[in-house]
A and B are shown apart, each in its own frame.
Chain A
Amino acid sequence: MNNIKVKVKDLSLRYGTNLALKNITMDIPEKMVTAFIGPSGCGKSTFLRTLNRMNDLIDNVTIEGEVYIDNINIYDKNIDVVNLRKKVGMIFQKSNPFAKSVYENIAFGPRINGISQKSVLDEIVERSLKQAAIWDEVKDRLFNSALSLSGGQQQRICIARSLAVNPDIILMDEPASALDPISTAKIEELIHELKQDYTIIIVTHNMQQAARTSDLTALFYMGDLVEMNKTEIIFSNPAKKQTEDYISGRFG
């Protein structure tokens, strides 16, 4: 097993008084793919969004516990959330490119970090698009609107956009749930490529997708972490009855 990248200790989250995550503790290894599965409303997306403090944007959320990334507690008072989010990129369920050109979408992150030299931006844009395996499809229309691309292409543009700020960790919130099977396969292939350089955490509804793409799988249910283990063990020989029931489709 690789080094631990993310260490979560006793994390609880409330929406108002409603307890949405209950004392989650888990270790997420570096440069591997960790999948979160579970029925709708089980807390897996909410948990994912605690890892880049995206829940901070919602009124009424209270969080207890600690999340260490590279041994630094990201909920410490002195943490700069802006820097945290540069290090922890996020891909959303619905692809959300900006209403700008492909080039400007990718250059957005570098630009807000103060990079304005055209040659440097060109290089970042090309490298990021290549990493996201979409360079060949868009290299002739870099200055067309990103919204003119297909859904699957838009999602890979979003991945490239997030790679352009050099994150260590990429959070993916059901990145392929709105895509057709071919686009989904491309995204999964890409996840496989990216894990050589990045720690990837993916939330998915699709258990086959978790089985295909991930090294580790964690099952959430009603705000609890039910079980977490190597993916092949979760899918062949889970320790808990609840896990077995869920992956065999008996509930959820």
Chain B
Amino acid sequence: MNRNVKDTIFEGLTGISVLLIIFIIVSILAITIVGGWPNLNWTFLSEFPKDGMTKGGIFPAIVGTAVMTIIMAIAAVPFGVITAIYLAEYASEKSVIAKIIRFAVKTLAVVPSIIFGLFGLGFFIGFIGKNMDGLLNGGELRWGQPNILWASLTMALLTLPVVIVSVEEAIRTIPREMREASLALGATKWQTIRKVVLPGSVSGILTGTILAVSRGAGEVAPILFTGAAYFLSNLPHSLSDQFMSLGYHIYIMSTQSSNVDATQPIQFATTLVLLLLTFSLNAVAVTLRYRIRKKAK
């Protein structure tokens, strides 16, 4: 075949691939907006589900998702930041421990989310929760069952790699000269990290947090066994309560509902809320990350 023909064919292929991707994203958005927008109103956002979940709103799912991601961030961000500090500041390039941690982080990032769910069930509920009940409640069941705390912690494990990678990247953009300036003034390594490195990495820490929150807000599998509830007539009052979540709500509305057709408008509108939430969080993260990279240059 003529080289020019091959060239044209390949160029055509790249064009088709790009169009396909654009088509997919536009379709998702279009279908969700067309189906969801008419049903999206204040009542929908502020009310509990009604009439066997065929009417009413998604307020408890919004609150549940928000609370879960907040607890998740409280757990994942400090842990992730400390790990990133170790990797960027303390571990030498050749250290075996650092290599093991990096490998673990990469592996953690590709573990299927359902596995995290099973791990959370076995570890947090079956092991920690059961033992807490044994020690604190004389064996009476309180922590040894699914709740918002275990779900949030399971989700924190899932999002930890995102935090670690973002924060480490930001820490590495702090020029060596800044660290040297601080050390040359007689600052200890920890003082240098606390007063020079971390303040300079704030936007990276924020990016990591937001990416983690947007990832966690949308995931369903990790909370499936660890705390998400089908329907609750109350908001969670304590860490040992179950909660409703947007992603899980979409799942049950489309598979478990007694009348799937009747709930279709609710499904679309819930999907739209979840999409808007994750898209806007991602947009903020991308903007922040762009600023960090520009600053690094």
Known contacts A59-B92, A59-B94, A112-B195, A85 near B177 by CB under 8 Å: no
Report whether A108 and B185 are in contact in the complex, using a CB–CB cutoff of 8 Å.
yes
Size category of the A interface is: 20 to 34
Known contacts A59-B93, A108-B195, A162 near B178 by CB under 8 Å: no
Please, what's the 1-or-0 string for A47-69, where 1 marks a CB less than 8 Å from any CB in chain B? 00000101001010000000000
Q: Answer yes or no: A86 CB below 8 A from chain B CBs.
A: yes
Complex CA gap A217/B195 in Å reads: 37
Report whether B177 and A92 are in contact in the complex, using a CB–CB cutoff of 8 Å.
yes
Instruction: Tell which of B179, B183, B186 has the most Cβ of chain A within 10 Å.
Output: B186
Q: Answer yes or no: A216 CB below 8 A from chain B CBs.
A: no
Complex CA gap A113/B188 in Å reads: 10
Which residue on chain B has the smallest CB distance to residue A94? Answer: B177
Report whether A109 and B186 are in contact in the complex, using a CB–CB cutoff of 8 Å.
yes
Report whether B191 and A96 are in contact in the complex, using a CB–CB cutoff of 8 Å.
no
Q: Is the interface of B mostly helix, strand, loop or mixed?
A: helix
Which residue on chain B has the smallest CB distance to residue A158? Answer: B181
Complex CA gap A165/B185 in Å reads: 7
Restricting to A99-114, which residues have a CB under 8 Å from any CB of B? 99, 108-109, 112-113
Report whether A90 and B195 are in contact in the complex, using a CB–CB cutoff of 8 Å.
no
Known contacts A98-B196, A108-B195, A113 near B177 by CB under 8 Å: no
**Within the complex, what minimum Cβ distance (angstroms) separates A105 from chain B?**
9
Complex CA gap A165/B195 in Å reads: 16
Q: Interface of B with A (CB < 8 Å)? A: 92-94, 175, 177-188, 191, 195-196, 199-200
**Listed A/B pairs (5) with beta-carbon separation below 8 Å:** A54-B184, A89-B184, A94-B177, A108-B185, A112-B186
In addition to A57-B180, A94-B177, A98-B178, 6 A-B residue pairs with Cβ atoms within 8 Å of each other are: A57-B183, A82-B188, A96-B178, A98-B196, A158-B181, A162-B184
Q: Interface of A with B (CB < 8 Å)? A: 52, 54, 57, 59, 82-83, 85-86, 89-90, 92, 94, 96-99, 108-109, 112-113, 158, 161-162, 165
Closest 3 CB pairs of A and B: A86-B186, A90-B184, A96-B177
